[in-house]
Amino acid sequence: MAEQGGAVEGATASAAEEASKVDEDYIKKFLGDLTPLQESRLIQLREWLSETHKGKFETDKQVRNMPKDSHLLRFLRARDFNTEKAHEMITASLAWRKQHKVDQILSTWEPPPILLDYFPGGWHFYDKEGRPVFIMRLGQLDVKGLIKAVGEEAILRHVLSINEEGIRRTEQATKQTGRPISSWTCIVDCEGLSMRHLWRPGIKALLRMIEVVEANYPEVMGKLLIVRAPRVFPVIWTLVSPFIDENTRQKFLIYGGKNYMESGGLTDHIAQQYVPDFICGDCYCDIPEGGIIPKACYRSTDDLYSIGEPTLCAETVYKSVLLQKGIPHEVLVHVKDAQQVLTWDFDVLRGDIVFSVMVSRRPLTIHKEVTNPVSTPAGIIANTVVIDKSMQCGIDYKVVESALVCKAGESIQGSHVCQVAGWYVLQWRHYNISAALPSSAQKAAHHYHKSKIMFYHEVLASEDFRGSMTSLQSCHSGFSSLSISTTSSRASDRSHASSHTTISR
């Protein structure tokens, strides 16, 4: 590959010299100040791509009214003008765009109404350098509610549509100002940011989205201005910053106090008359306020991911399973070290269920996989069974979390500090509520013959669990029982307790 790159560089040397003469006005208007070497690398990448992606990149000067070179420059800048690395990055991105039809997303993507109502972000005028401005009220974002109401797939598509719209707006701004504008400014309002935003599945989903954006939209962020950052912000930043490119991190400006409207603050970047009213500015900003999404809007996995095209998310945070009488669902988790923490988060979407946790010191395996006798919808996984009927409680395994009856509509989060290494089993069973009813009411309760849950689980190191960033809490609950203030007291409790459990509804 290096030899090929060298050959291309040699073959295009004279072309670069000619381009610097013929396209000087074009470069100044659409691309900005480039050194001769940078111009040469741009032409080299363009010609290399024209060979490997015939018809994708035009070089005829007549089509440069809508320049694609600005797009190539983003990838070159992201790789410090290393042509080989930029070529590898953009080639992967082009394949990704084709696979997921990203080029058509602005004309074909229709966000679900609840996403439009509760996603607290939108475009808002321009900054002092002519960049489009996007405002995000991060503190008003219900991460858990959005994931459970519309799914990761829809959120990611919405994020991609925002990036595509941002590129479109930079091209418009370039035409309007007569100078190159290739990035935009983002203002993030953290008012309301709290421990509920540190819900671990939401953080994992966010990191996946950052990974997709970093790989396919490099160098689109001109500045990111974070205002009203609360005390919890450093925890979130510690989690997220390692996944953000170093060049992008250098564009972050964080204002933790109330001085963001003073000299050196927000008004250094955006005119006072355009600062939104909700952050003490003079301009009305018509973007959704966000807020907590009602649980009645939550949907099951089969509803969220039954789309007829390749999904952007390689994996989903949650799995869904149906429970019927005699067909439990058991998840086998191998915990290798004592004091690791087994965590879970599940929602009861239909019917009532019983949840338990067991452990065995001897190796366990999945005894069988059961497909429900009814037609299984897309997105519903098969039931797996670990505890065989021949196994005896107290001999082959023991219960470490007593049976918990969970009603339809409940959201359960919990954790178990594993006192021993071993094979742990999370078990969900259908709860036959009609058996507890008078005979006269049993017939009316016939529709409770099956249940459905969405679940997520993870094993954490004890030090990660004690850190607040790994909290698995409900959006409606407080900081569950993972708060730093109670960590030390819990440590002493463990000396006389067989296990420690957190269950938050």
Give tens-digit pLDDT for 182-241: 999 999 999 998 888 888 888 888 888 999 999 999 999 999 999 998 888 888 888 888
Q: Work out the burial of residue 110: count CB atoms within 10 Å of its CB; fewer than 13 is exposed, 13-18 middle, 19 or more buried.
A: exposed
Say if strands 121-126 and 132-136 run parallel, antiparallel, or are unpaired: antiparallel
In a domain, 489, yes or no: yes
In a domain, 312, yes or no: no
Same domain, 250 and 366: no
Rounded Cα–Cα distance for residues 422 and 329 (Å): 19
Which pLDDT score, from 0 to 100, does residue 346 have?
Answer: 85
Residue carrying structure tokens 């994996």: 315
Of 73, 100, 127, the residue that ends a domain is 100
Phi, psi of 435 (to 5 degrees): -65, -25
pLDDT-flagged residues of the chain (< 70): 1-23, 52-67, 301-303, 305-310, 313-317, 371-379, 433-448, 464-505
Which pLDDT score, from 0 to 100, does residue 3 have?
Answer: 40
Rounded Cα–Cα distance for residues 331 and 112 (Å): 32
Of 85, 100, 115, the residue that ends a domain is 100
Same domain, 275 and 338: no
- CATH number (domain holding residue 7): 1.10.8
Same domain, 92 and 74: yes
Residues 375-414 have pLDDT tens digits of 555 567 889 999 988 899 999 999 999 899 998 777 788 8
Which pLDDT score, from 0 to 100, does residue 53 have?
Answer: 60
Rounded Cα–Cα distance for residues 445 and 125 (Å): 56
- CATH number (domain holding residue 460): 2.60.120.680
Same domain, 110 and 94: no
Which pLDDT score, from 0 to 100, does residue 111 have?
Answer: 93
Number of domain units in the chain: 3
Which pLDDT score, from 0 to 100, does residue 134 have?
Answer: 97
In a domain, 313, yes or no: no
CB atoms within 10 A of CB 350: 16
Which pLDDT score, from 0 to 100, does residue 194 have?
Answer: 86
In a domain, 304, yes or no: no
- CATH number (domain holding residue 173): 3.40.525.10
Which pLDDT score, from 0 to 100, does residue 439 have?
Answer: 52
CA distances from 277 to 87, 269, 281 (A): 44, 16, 4
Same domain, 56 and 181: no
Q: Which domain holds residue 257?
A: 103-296
Which pLDDT score, from 0 to 100, does residue 18 have?
Answer: 41
Same domain, 20 and 78: yes
Same domain, 322 and 431: yes
Same domain, 286 and 345: no
Same domain, 236 and 377: no
Using a pLDDT cut of 90, give the percent of the chain over it.
Answer: 39
